[in-house]
Every structure is written in structure tokens, then in C-alpha cells.
Amino acid sequence: MDELTREFLIEAQEGLDRMERCLTELEEHPQDGELLADIFRSVHTIKGTTGFLGYSRLESLSHAGENLLGMLRDGKLIVNADMISALLELMDGLRVILQSIEEVGHEGQGRDRAMIQRLHALQFGETAIEASKPTEREKQTVQESLPYEPAASQAQTPSQSQAAVDSTLRVDIDLLNRMMNLVGELVLTRNQILQANNADAGFTLLARRLDMVTADLREAVMKARMQPVSHVFSKFPRLVRDLSQQLNKRVRLQMEGQETELDKSLLEAIKDPLTHSVRNSIDHGIEVPQVREAAGKDPEGLLKLRAYQEGSHVIVEVTDDGGGISVERIRDKAIERKLITAQKAMQLGERELLQLIFLPGFSTAEKVTNVSGRGVGMDVVRTNVEKIGGKVEIDSRPGKGTTLRLRIPLTLAIIPALIVRSRKQDFALPQGALFELVHLTAEQIRTQIEWLENAPLYRLRGRLLPLVFLHKLLEQTEDAEDGAGCYIAVLNADGRRFGLVVDGLADREEIVVKPLSAVLKKIGLFSGATVMGNGEMALILDPGAIAARAAISLTTDEEEAQADGANLDTGEAEFLLVEAGAVEAALPLGDILRIERIPCSAIERIGRTPVLRFEGTLLPLEDFSGILEPQLDADAEITVVVCRDGERHVGITVSQVLDVAAGALLAEAGTDSVVAGVTLLKERVTSVVNLSRIPALPPSLVDPIMLMEVAG
Amino acid sequence: MTAGLETKIEAGKAAAPTEDVIEMCSVLVGETIFGIPIMSILEILGTPATQTVPLAPPYIGGLVHYRGEVLTVVSLRSLLGIPGHSRPPDLLVFEGTGEYFGLQVDAVGEVMTVSPRDFEVNPSTLDDRRKSLFAGTYKLNDALLVMLDPARLDPMQLAQ
């Protein structure tokens, strides 16, 4: 049974249940207009949906009922007992058919004519003849129509699977929200208990158990709030069809990943942005067939909706193969609408210009159409998505098409964050925006932070990174401790790249976001507050707002935009070139989380796998060149590059880090197929370390309780 | 609720003196005793850990974790422009418009009963700020009890 039918069944059953209640009540209050309206609605809904799903018996029956109820509702008829019993029988009839659909997938056979006639007679008998008594003929039809016999086939098929209606339950969204809040509280309490550091082994064990149960419970409650994106996607075929007809375009809609699930409230929140984006794609993106043919494209445009999960985000993409966005036109429009000055526009790179379409009041439509072009749109899309902690990315190639990517967090309430310290106060920095961390000693602060007039800058791998000192931004007047170093958190907030300078780092934590009161929201730099594991509170920093406040512009460097564009074209990627023993190897830069120097004594072994205890977890180490093999001094230090491999983190032992460079892909001679595992780096063929080939630790070792035993 | 109380006070004044007594929780800030209708107080907390909020308006005392919510706390001392800090302040919790909020006071005193007969409106010599914050005064035998209306101390209200 498909999703639509299942939903219809549930809805119809509920409608009938309501109808039953109302009908019995109606007997006592025949004049109650509200009750009548309610019953009418139930039947009307069933009729509407059945017509659509092609259940003709249901449709004709409910249609007859609807007619009678319409007269009653409009006060043209007065309810009497006959009508109520007829309506109750109608209801039973509908129930039987619904049951048949649920069990055998079709409406089954049955005679509805008598029932329909009876309803018809009641409807007209009343208006024609004043008398409310049913005539003899009518009485007879009543008998004919009774009893409703279930279709023969269904009696023989006992329902094997659990009935859809019985296995689901509608739950008030408020209740779910409350449960989510309570789970949030439980997570906080758990964090506090885990940090309580009790010496009693029994307690620790219990705490671990609590930890796991809490995690499971959280997942279950979150699951309860999940709905497949098909709930939103399902309305697009119609929309696309209507729009393309209206605009004389030919559009084929392709949808992927409809089963991807997303929190209900988030799903609601992306409904409008998605609709906007789809409208935009059809109106502005896809060209009319003639233009497409002239450009050598399929006259039928392709609009692709795709949803998939990526880590803790769900990505929803709207891709069209239309004309793409002309950067020049955006610039001209933006100047024309006085959104930016011509002078400023000259300084902007392509990527920045593309971002201009997110400005309020921007629209490039030549004329205002029914569909779009009223200057509301992309800014609304961005605002709505950012409101739920998501991001919007746009990618467009003139002549090729446009991809709009909505990056939506899986859940609203709990986010991973890094706790940073500024002048003895803790703040939570959402991990989503965090790219890397750089530690500077007091000495390095003096020598490596450069000043361009009043603007502090740091050379990160040869590129200047604008810095924002958190304590200055927050006007914290205390002095830093003497001789203290600092950390630069390299952030990328909505395409703005900058380094946030903080005094220290504490733990990574999964934090529960608590909203701030309006007064504090107005400060504009904090997106909420949270209670940390140690029971203290921390304000959650909003990287985007900080960037805006510090006037960090969108990645200003034209060069970088071009470099990125080039990467997209040729599949080039940046690599970290490392030396391990006698071997040189490349690590994909995008996967590198950080580079640590650790004493050899910190490395432990499980079986033959070297592991490193890393932020409370076990990090499997890959020692591909065998530099760990000759038993090194316990004091000797080695370098570990911590990389991301899908969900897990792995460490690569290297002797030294050499350089960062762009690597080109190589094709095997005579073929177009790319050789995996090597790259052309600085004119030399270098092998790329395959992170996924690093063996996972046995699952039992990852279990927290076991971990305790191994580690402790 | 407090609005209701006020009208009750008004009514009490207009009609013959009745024995309607109002229970006030007395709190101390600086040298002044303030009274807050006891029914409007949700809870009195000792001195919970308070997180300061950089860049917040000066009258914001910080944030306090209260039953799963994050309370915005108003410092009555700062609000009245009384410099310095007393010992760690006590905290009262109120229900504001839409959300709870906290009020820091130097100390919470005893519960007093006052009679509407002893009520007087704000003296005209008070500065505007205080006039807007105070809801009037009750004459006690040996002191004055300044009535506070929690609705006027709601951070949402203060922000406007």
C-alpha cells in the first residue's frame, strides 16, 4: 500500500470516527449548525480524496451523503431521526469499503445504489413533501440497502500485517515538543552526572548506562518527530505541471531521496523556501523550448529535487538545467536597484555577486509575472532557512543551470559545539561553522599576528585570514593572563571566512539550545544559551552575526573564487603533502581535522592496532610507513594528522608535514577513467592515503563500558 | 494579576475601608524596602550561579538556569542606578509576558501584610525612572514600603 493510500485511510477513519460522535450528538441537538458543518467536512474530505485516488464507490457514496448534508448544513432541511440513521448507515458502508481497501487493496463489490437512492430521497422527499415520514417506497429501499455485506474476498483474507490504522497514532505536536524539551533536560543532567567523577566504580557503570539510555531515548524521540521529505516533495509534481503550462515551458521533474527523514518542524519550515526555489527555477531558470533547442539542449527542461543526509545535516537540492544565472546581470540589477554601489560591485568576485541575489528586494525578472519577480524570494528563502540553523548555497553556470542547496540540520534542539573561553567566560561555538583550530603561543601572538592598520590578520597556509578578537568584540575589559597563548578558530559563516581569536578551549559538547529572551537576542551576537555538563551556562555564539558585526565581507578574494571554480572544473583538490619515513604521501585537505604532535608514550595498542586516546574517544592510527615500528623513545614526539573518514575519525602517523598543494587527477593512459589513489602533486605522482581502508576498531571496543576497561 | 491587585487597591480606596489586606514580600535593595505582591512571585531562589551576558543592557544581571529554562535576570540595583554590589544577590522568579524572568535583590525579607488604606501614589518629587518603576508606597509604622509591580520589571517591558 502506498503512502498516500495509507494516509488517506487513517484520515478517513478519523473523519468517520468524528462523524459518528457528531451524529449521535446531533440526535440530541438537531439544530446545532457546527455539528452539521463538522460532519459535512468529514464526508467532503473523504469524497475529495477518493475521487483523486480513484475509488469510485467511495466517491459516489460520499457524494450522495454530502448532498444531503449540504442541505442540512445550509438549513434547507431539518434533521430527523431517519436522516441520522441513514447517515449512520452510510458511515458503516464507507467503513466496510475502507476496510476492504486496507485489507485487499480495492473497494470490493457491493451494491450502493439503494443507499444512494435513499439519501437522495431524503434530500428531495423533504423539500417536496412537507411530511417528514418516509414513504413506503423509501422504507423499502432502506431494507434493500441493508445489511451491508463485506466483500466476499476480504472475509477470507485475515489481515496478516498490522493494520495501518491501528499501528499509528496521531500525537499532538506540542506533546512531542515537550518530550523533546524533557529529553534535552535529561541530556543536560546526564552530562552533569558524567562529569561528576565519582570514584565508585558501580556509579560510573550506572552513569555509562544512563548515558546510553539517554542517547537511545533521544534518538527515539527525535525519530518520532521525523517525517520523510516526500511530505513536502509530493506537492511539487502538480506545482511544476501547472507552472510550466502557465509559462509555456516544458519541464520534467525528477525527485530523489524522498524517504530522507527530517524533523517535522524543520520540514514545515523548508516548505516555503523550497516552493520559492522551485518557482524560481521554472520561471527564471529553465528556458522556453525554442530557446533551449537553439542552445542545443533538450527542449524539455529538467528540474531535479534531491534530498540526502550528510552527517548531521540533510541537504535538499533544487537543480535545473536552465540558463543559469548571469553574474553580469546580477551586478547590473543590484546597481540599478541601488543595493550596492557601482564602485563596490567592481570589487566583487563572481561568488560574491552570486550571493547578491539573497539581498532583500532583489529580482532579475524582466517583468513581474504571476510566478515570481516581485522582489521577494531568495532573501526569504535564505532568512527562513537560516532561522532554523540551516544554510543556503547557490551554484550556477551560465548556460548550464543552477543548483540551490539547502543545508538543514537534522534537529533543532541539540547541536555539537566547541566550548571556547574568552576572559574566563565560556561560550559555545557551533561546530557547523568551525573548520580548524590554530594554537598560538604568547610569542607567536606577537610575531605571527600581523596588523594592517587596525585590522589583525593571520597567514594561514600562505593566505591572509582576517581575525576577530572575541574579547574585544564582546567588550570584555579584563586583561588576558600574562604569557597566555590563544587559539584561532577558523570559521566559515555563510561564505565569510575569518578567524575568531579566543583565550582557550574547553570540551566539545553536544549542547541543548535554549532560546534567549528578546532583550538579549537584540545584542545580536548570541543565538541562544545552553547549560553545560558542569552545570554552568554558556552563551552560544552566532558565527554569521559575528562576521557581520566585524564587517567581514564575503570571501573577498577573487583569486580564491577562481581557484575554487577551477577545482570544480577539473576535479582538482587540495592535498596536504606529508612525509612518513621514506615515503611521501598526500592527504585530502578537506578531510583533515587537525595536526597534533604527541609523545610516543601516548600511543597504546589494542591487539596490533595502534590507538590514541583523543578527546575521550579512541582514535585508530594508521602507520602506513611503519614509523612506529622501531621502538621509539617514549619521549620522542611524532606527528599525527587527525582526519575525518565519513562518521569516524582516524589518525595518520607521519614524520613531518611538508606542504599544501593542489593536486590534479590522472587518467590511465589511453582511457578516460581516473586512477584512484594517486594525484599529480607538484609535478610528481603521489599516492593518496585511502582513509576508508584504515581498519575500524572492533565494535566491542567502541562500546563505552569496554572503553573504560581498556583505557582505565 | 498585578493589574487586578491595583484595581483592587483603587477600589478599596474609593469604597469604605475594608479589611482587605495584601500580603507583600519585602525585599531590600540599597537602603530601601520594596514590597512585591506575594502572589506574583513564582519562586525565591537563593543565589544561583549567574552567567553574565557581555554587551547586555546594564540592568541585565545575567542568565540563570531555572527548571530547564534560561532566565533573563534583571538587577534591581543596576536598574535603580545604585552603584556597587552587595553580597551575592537573592533571586526572585516571575512570570513575564511569554516567559519567566528573574529579579536580583540584595536580600529577601519577611512577608508583610499591608492595607490598601495605607497606600499612596508615587510622590511627584521622584525622578522619572523611579516613577515608571514604582507602583506606589505603603506607609508602615516606622518605614515606607515601595510597591513594585513585576510587570514593569519584565525585561521585555524595560527594553522598550
Mean pLDDT of A157-181: 68
Per-residue pLDDT reduced to its tens digit, A557-604? 433 433 343 333 344 567 788 887 777 788 877 778 777 777 777 788
From chain B, pick out residues whose CB is under 8 angstroms from the CB of A523.
53-56
Peptide bond before A147: cis, by omega within 30 degrees of 0?
Answer: yes
Question: Taking CA atoms, what residue in A is nearest to B59?
Answer: A519
**Cell of residue A334, nine digits:** 543590484
Instruction: Give A205-228 as a DSSP string.
Output: HHHHHHHHHHHHHHHHHHHHTEEE
Residues forming a β-bridge with A468: A500
Rg of chain A over all Cα atoms, to the nearest angstrom: 33
Distance CA A501, CA A550 (A): 13
Give the helix/strand (H/E) hosting B151: helix B150-153
pTM for this entry: 0.51
**Cell of residue A500, nine digits:** 575568531
CA contacts within 13 A on the Cβ side of A594: 16
Q: How confident is the model at residue A671 (pLDDT cuts 50, 70, 90)?
A: low
From chain A, pick out residues whose CB is under 8 angstroms from the CB of B93.
none
Distance CA A492, CA A165 (A): 47
Q: Which amino acid is at A336?
A: E
Q: Which amino acid is at B89?
A: P
pLDDT at B148: 92
- The reply to whether residue A518 touches residue B51, judged by beta carbons under 8 angstroms, is no
Question: Taking CA atoms, what residue in B is nearest to A522?
Answer: B56
From chain A, pick out residues whose CB is under 8 angstroms from the CB of B68.
181-182, 184-185, 188
* Residues sharing a CB contact under 8 Å with residue A119, sequence separation 6 or more, in sequence order: A64, A65, A67, A68, A86, A90
Instruction: Tell which of A179, A192, A419, A520 to mutate to test the B interface (max B CBs under 10 Å).
Output: A520
CA distance B66 to chain A (A): 10
End-to-end CA distance of chain A: 53
Q: Burial level of A445, CB count in 10 A (0-12/13-18/19+)?
A: middle
* β pairing state of A496-502 and A401-409: unpaired
CA distance B147 to chain A (A): 24
Residues of A with CB under 8 A from a CB of B: 181-182, 184-185, 188, 425, 474-476, 514-520, 522-523, 525-526, 528-529, 531, 535-539
**A474 → closest Cβ in B54, B63, B99:** B54
Q: Which residue has the higher pLDDT, A630 or A193?
A: A193
**Alpha helices, DSSP H, located in A200-280:** 201-224, 230-233, 236-246, 264-280
**B155 → closest Cβ in A475, A517, A536:** A517
pLDDT at A635: 67
Distance CA B146, CA B121 (A): 10
pLDDT at A428: 93
Which range scores top for mean pLDDT: A446-450, A664-668, A690-694? A446-450
Per-residue pLDDT reduced to its tens digit, B5-35? 444 444 434 444 456 788 999 999 988 999 9
Q: Does B15 touch chain A (CB under 8 A)?
A: no
ipTM surpasses cut 0.85: no
Per-residue pLDDT reduced to its tens digit, A459-480? 888 788 999 999 999 988 888 7
Four-CA torsion B149, B150, B153, B155, nearest 10 degrees: -150
**Alpha helices, DSSP H, located in A388-492:** 442-448, 470-473
Q: Which amino acid is at A430?
A: P
Residues forming a β-bridge with A596: A640
CA contacts within 13 A on the Cβ side of A321: 18
Per-residue pLDDT reduced to its tens digit, B95-148? 887 788 999 999 999 999 998 889 999 988 988 888 888 999 999 888 899 999
Distance CA A180, CA A315 (A): 23
Least Cα distance to A493 among A548, A539, A564, A530 occurs for: A548
Q: E-strand spans in chain B?
A: 22-29, 32-37, 41-45, 60-66, 69-75, 90-95, 100-105, 107-114, 119-120, 134-139, 144-148
Given a contact cutoff of 8 angstroms between Cβ atoms, the answer to whether A404 and A320 are in contact is: no
- The reply to whether residue A535 touches residue B63, judged by beta carbons under 8 angstroms, is no
From chain B, pick out residues whose CB is under 8 angstroms from the CB of A526.
53
From chain A, pick out residues whose CB is under 8 angstroms from the CB of B75.
none
pLDDT at B102: 93
Distance CA A68, CA A82 (A): 12
Give the helix/strand (H/E) hosting A7: helix A3-28
**Cell of residue A14, nine digits:** 478519523
